[in-house]
Structure 1
């Protein structure tokens, strides 16, 4: 019997991460045993290689300003597991989490005995926990972020009011496939018959796959660059000001609370998704709620400012598209400043290409390091290997411990310089504890 919050977390994290064959049958059976807690709620289902968390954060902020009650499910967490499950921007309490795990554990044990491949995985338990919590809270809308992919993701057991696909790029190829078409096919799995889908700026190969899937399912398409438009008004501003345009919203100007150029397109997707949801629910969209909600959005670990002078930013650019977005931001917003980057990346990522992107910038001083990693099966990459082959203006430095790396960079910087700590979100989680005590 689980008696404490710590025991509840140990139970969750002690489960297997993946099964050999992808299927939703186990998740559906699991939820049926729990009384189908996912039924009867309004969902916005969000997938994408990058941008999911930021889109959820912006949508949540705007919808709360609209006066709605909002549930949210995101991953991974940055500081505490509870962050993943929220109601009106407040994470689930330790007591509620313990109580719901106590309810779920007997069902998991039962399925361990009855199912040939064993009971639920860790993420299936995470999702079931969230569905049970939302069934109790009954929010007006649940912003439901996909874990990996979409088609076989444990969250893909609902029919949403709106589906959202933010971006498609190279990540999780072991599970999703080794081409953009295969990856996009997995993402398109969240598109449902006749349910509107909001789409960000996608590579052509991925776009064709997703558009064709949506047409086949007769899902109305709302695509950035066709049905809605966005532009950054002022260049060289870390917190961007945008101009957004759609058939319903004429020339909306808003300042973003999240930094980085990549948030311009994320904001557009978030606005379009809010628009679509409100229209589907026959609710009136408040222009002022949009402006205020976007400005007041916060999201830990996404170009998050943790020190003002000198400027220190944490950015969970955990894959190649994320690093490319960070590089674009550095070029746009910090071109005139010296930028010191401390980076640690998981071994299962394209870390050689990621380092090459960062090293290509003439104003970047690159320091590579490592960290504990989320577990023995997902270690931190040894970035020391091969750095001598990377063409760069300044020699790449190595910090044997990331804490020493931060200290060494701080000694080299002046007040005008910028420190960016980036790479794995698990790494950012470790570092963030140092800055936010």
Structure 2
């Protein structure tokens, strides 16, 4: 019997991280023993290399603005584990989580005994908890974020109302493949028979995989840049403004509070999925609802302002495609400012490319450092990071990120920007520091 929040987290985080073989058989067996709660839910499924979390947030707020109750399943969390399972943006309570977790150990023990490959992994348990929770606490729709890949992700036992694929880039290559088409094939695994598919801004070779997969599933892809489009309408203030066009739906000067062209793309992708979902559900698509939902969306850790004087922000860019987008954001919004970046990265990322990408901006001053990191992941050390650009005069090293923070604050002026980035785990640690949140379960995210 699990009686405390800490015991509940210890049970979840005590499981293996990854599957022993690429299959959904164990997850299906697991859910069958729990009564297949996922079959009771109306869901939207969101996959992609980057942009999943922001797209989920935009979708949630669009649906809530329409008056619907919305469950979300996201990962990793930024502050506390509970964020992964939320209703209308409110995380599951500690007591509810304890009760929920108590349903699972007997089934896990049974599967451990039955299966040569052992029972469910940590993320399979996370997913099962979510399905059980929303089956017992019904909402109008659950927006489910894929954990890793798509084809063999534990969330992929569902048949959603809409499938969404945000972006395709080179990440998790050891697991998903070394090329864009290989990774696209994994992401396209969430496409189901006759279920509409909405894609973000994909490269031609990635989109070709989506179209081909959709054809075999007797469905159709609606893609950003081909079937719906956006035009940036920049203004000299925080946030982004843009036009949107899809079929007969045309909107001028939509506003979001998140920075970056990629956030415009994420908002447009979410909006298209919202429109398609409303049409399937015979719901309304109202301009005022759309404007209210998009303007309301916030997503912690995505170019989030922590302080304004001095201007300090955090961003969860944790791979090379995200770092390219971040560099574009900095060029567009902060070209006339000096930008101090504190970078800390997990060791399995392409940190050489990430450093070089940031240093293409002439106004960037880079301090490479490290953070505590989750127990199961190795963090790149400052010396490893600094070795990638040994002779550059705009890169320096600090033994840890609080030291780097003090170093940057001493160097920067009132007009400069300080950005901490490189890993969602890292910015979670930073956010605890600035927001004075409860650090009880920081860096124990699992995935």
Coarse TM-score class (shorter-chain normalised): over 0.9
**In the superposition, relative to structure 1, how do residues 383 and 181 fare at CA in structure 2: closer, same or farther (>3 Å)?**
farther
**In the superposition, relative to structure 1, how do residues 145 and 392 fare at CA in structure 2: closer, same or farther (>3 Å)?**
farther
- For the aligned residue pairs, the C-alpha RMSD in angstroms reads 1.3
Counterpart for residue 253 of structure 1? 253
Using the alignment, how far apart are the partners of 1:383 and 1:357 within structure 2? 17
- Does the 8 Å CA contact 1:235/1:332 hold for their aligned counterparts? no
TM-score, scaled to structure 2: 0.95
Counterpart for residue 415 of structure 2? 416
> Structure 1 residue 237: deviation in Å?
4.8
Using the alignment, how far apart are the partners of 1:388 and 1:97 within structure 2? 44
Counterpart for residue 91 of structure 2? 91
Q: Mapping of 1:176-187 within 5 angstroms?
A: 176-187=176-187
Using the alignment, how far apart are the partners of 1:159 and 1:62 within structure 2? 22
| 1:346-392 Cα distance to aligned partner (Å, 9 max, x none) | 001111111110111100000000011112x4111124236355288
Using the alignment, how far apart are the partners of 2:238 and 2:313 within structure 1? 11
Counterpart for residue 443 of structure 2? none
**In the superposition, relative to structure 1, how do residues 56 and 392 fare at CA in structure 2: closer, same or farther (>3 Å)?**
farther
Counterpart for residue 302 of structure 1? 302
- Does the 8 Å CA contact 1:314/1:421 hold for their aligned counterparts? yes
Using the alignment, how far apart are the partners of 2:10 and 2:387 within structure 1? 41
- Does the 8 Å CA contact 2:374/2:425 hold for their aligned counterparts? yes
Counterpart for residue 428 of structure 1? 427
Q: Mapping of 1:262-341 within 5 angstroms?
A: 262-341=262-341
For structure 2, list consecutive stretches of 5 or more residues without a partner in the other structure: 437-447
**In the superposition, relative to structure 1, how do residues 212 and 373 fare at CA in structure 2: closer, same or farther (>3 Å)?**
same
> Structure 1 residue 393: deviation in Å?
6.5
SS in 2 for 1:222: strand
> Structure 1 residue 118: deviation in Å?
0.8
- Does the 8 Å CA contact 1:372/1:379 hold for their aligned counterparts? no
Q: Alignment length, in residue pairs?
A: 436
* Further displaced range: 330-339 or 214-223: 214-223
TM-score, scaled to structure 1: 0.97
Counterpart for residue 442 of structure 2? none
Counterpart for residue 399 of structure 1? 398
Counterpart for residue 209 of structure 1? 209
Using the alignment, how far apart are the partners of 1:216 and 1:237 within structure 2? 46
> Structure 1 residue 87: deviation in Å?
0.7
Counterpart for residue 377 of structure 2? 378
Counterpart for residue 353 of structure 1? 353
SS in 1 for 2:278: helix
Using the alignment, how far apart are the partners of 2:121 and 2:385 within structure 1? 36
* Further displaced range: 284-293 or 328-337: 284-293
Using the alignment, how far apart are the partners of 2:413 and 2:201 within structure 1? 37
- Does the 8 Å CA contact 1:44/1:160 hold for their aligned counterparts? yes
- Does the 8 Å CA contact 1:359/1:390 hold for their aligned counterparts? no
**In the superposition, relative to structure 1, how do residues 330 and 236 fare at CA in structure 2: closer, same or farther (>3 Å)?**
farther
> Structure 1 residue 201: deviation in Å?
0.9
- Does the 8 Å CA contact 2:338/2:416 hold for their aligned counterparts? yes
